[in-house]
């Protein structure tokens, strides 16, 4: 019984899945499989049919996507749609990962899965269109929308803050954007819980669709930075002064949602799954970062 994961050790989520050391997981990433290389799609079923496919790969450079529309669409929309079509042809269920950036961030309350998408960026639009294309091509798909992903490995906000704090006495961090910090290790665990259920019980049509899958509790980037830096202090890192700034003081090419909190009740209702609180998981990630 195998589960093919699209993604390689350059990816945060793929690495979290690799760290589980589950012998059923087989990883397929660049250069063998590349969403921009149609011929490489043959590699997905080259060694036989997996029981399930998990796609962790994406164009995640949110700002660069504004200038690379074609590439972002290829990796986040057209490639995953072609993969979903292939899964449908082989009758293989698909778990795919999407983002809170499909929303504008102006609801003023946590988004539920039924809220209409309203992406404000090339990245968000490519992911939103990817979701729709996947569900149209392979109804046996589960799409997990996550957000603010960090881990003890790879490039992420928590690591960036710890590195920046080691070099600078003062850090300025945006405090008027809120969301749900999510550990990629926790997301990997949730993916495997869902995979196990699908493999054990068989596919159920009621499972098809979109789920919000983020850490429990919300925070601003400022809150997350201060929490991570205080934890890093325990490991001998200097605590810099952290100044709260507003979004206007930190302009980026791609507009960030002001409030992209996601309601995760559906994940709990359907799969009885809940993520740990973000503080608990941030503590673990900081420990990993500081122990290297």
Ligand X SMILES: NC(=O)c1ccc[n+]([C@@H]2O[C@H](COP(=O)([O-])OP(=O)(O)OC[C@H]3O[C@@H](n4cnc5c(N)ncnc54)[C@H](OP(=O)(O)O)[C@@H]3O)[C@@H](O)[C@H]2O)c1
Residues taking part in catalysis:
123
- Exactly one of 95, 117, 134, 147 binds ligand X (CB under 6 A); which one? 147
Nearest approach, Cβ of residue 74 and ligand X (Å): 7
| Three-class SS of 209-269 | EEEECCCECCEEHHHHHHHHHHHHHCCCCCCCEEEEECHHHCCCCCCCCCECCECCHHHHH
Site string for ligand X, 168-197 (x = CB under 6 A): ----------------x-------------
Nearest to 281 by CA among 210, 212, 195, 190: 190
Q: Is 35 a residue that touches ligand X (CB under 6 A)?
A: yes
Number of residues binding to ligand X, judged by CB under 6 A:
27
- Does the footprint of ligand X cover residue 148 (CB under 6 A)? yes
Separation CA 55–CA 173 (nearest Å): 32
Site for ligand X in 41-60 (CB under 6 A): 56-60
Nearer to ligand X, 189 or 233 (CB): 189
CB 145 to ligand X: min, Å: 7
The nearer residue to ligand X, 104 or 147, going by C-beta atoms, is: 147
Q: Number of C-alpha atoms within 13 angstroms, CB side, residue 206?
A: 7
Per-residue tokens: 107: 């609801």
Residues 6+ apart with CB under 8 A from 100: 111, 145, 146, 147, 148, 179, 180, 214, 257, 260, 262
For ligand X, which residue has the nearest CB? 10
Distance CA(97)–CA(76), nearest Å, equals 10
Q: Give the x/- contact pattern for ligand X in 85-104, rule: CB under 6 A.
A: ------------x-x-----
Based on the shown chain and the rule CB under 6 A, indicate whether residue 63 belongs to the binding site for ligand X: no
- CB of residue 219 to ligand X, shortest distance in Å: 14
Q: Interacting stretch for ligand X, rule CB under 6 A, among 146-154, 220-228, 234-242, 275-283? A: 146-154
List CB contacts of 28: < 8 A, sequence separation 6 or more. 4, 5, 6, 7, 8, 43, 44
Rounded Cα distance between 62 and 124, Å, is: 8
CB of 238 to ligand X, least distance (A): 26
| Structure tokens, 202 | 């068989």
Residues 7-26 that bind ligand X (CB under 6 A): 7-8, 10-14
We find the least distance from the C-beta atom of residue 187 to ligand X, in angstroms, to be 8
Q: Strands 219-220 and 178-179: what pairing?
A: antiparallel
Residues forming the site for ligand X (CB under 6 A):
7-8, 10-14, 29-30, 33-36, 56-60, 75, 97, 99, 146-149, 154, 184
């Amino acid at each position: 019984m195998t589960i093919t994961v699209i993604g390689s050790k350059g990816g945060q989520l793929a690495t979290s899945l690799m760290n589980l050391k589950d012998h059923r997981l087989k990883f397929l990433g660049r250069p063998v499989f590349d969403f921009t290389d149609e011929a490489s799609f043959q590699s997905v079923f080259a060694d036989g049919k997996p029981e399930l496919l998990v796609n962790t790969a994406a164009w995640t450079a949110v700002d660069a996507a504004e200038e690379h529309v074609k590439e972002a669409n290829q990796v986040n929309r057209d490639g995953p749609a072609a993969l979903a079509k292939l899964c449908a042809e082989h009758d293989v269920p698909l778990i795919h990962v999407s983002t809170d950036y499909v929303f504008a961030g102006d609801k003023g309350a946590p988004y539920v899965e039924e809220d209409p998408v309203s992406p404000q960026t090339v990245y968000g639009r490519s992911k939103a269109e990817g979701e729709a294309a996947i569900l149209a091509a392979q109804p046996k798909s589960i799409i997990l929308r996550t957000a603010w992903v960090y881990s003890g490995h790879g490039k992420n906000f928590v690591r960036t803050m710890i590195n920046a704090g080691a070099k600078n006495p003062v850090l300025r961090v945006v405090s008027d954007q809120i969301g749900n910090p999510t550990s990629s290790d926790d997301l990997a665990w949730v993916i495997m819980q869902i995979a196990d259920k699908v493999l054990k019980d068989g596919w159920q049509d009621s499972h098809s669709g979109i789920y919000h899958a983020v850490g429990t509790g919300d925070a601003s980037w400022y809150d997350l930075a201060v929490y991570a830096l205080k934890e890093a202090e325990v490991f001998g890192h200097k605590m810099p002064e952290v100044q709260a700034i507003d979004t206007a003081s930190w302009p980026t090419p791609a507009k960030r949602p002001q409030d992209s909190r996601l309601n995760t009740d559906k994940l709990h209702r359907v799969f009885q799954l809940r993520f740990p609180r973000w503080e608990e998981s941030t503590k673990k990630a900081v420990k990993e970062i500081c122990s290297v």
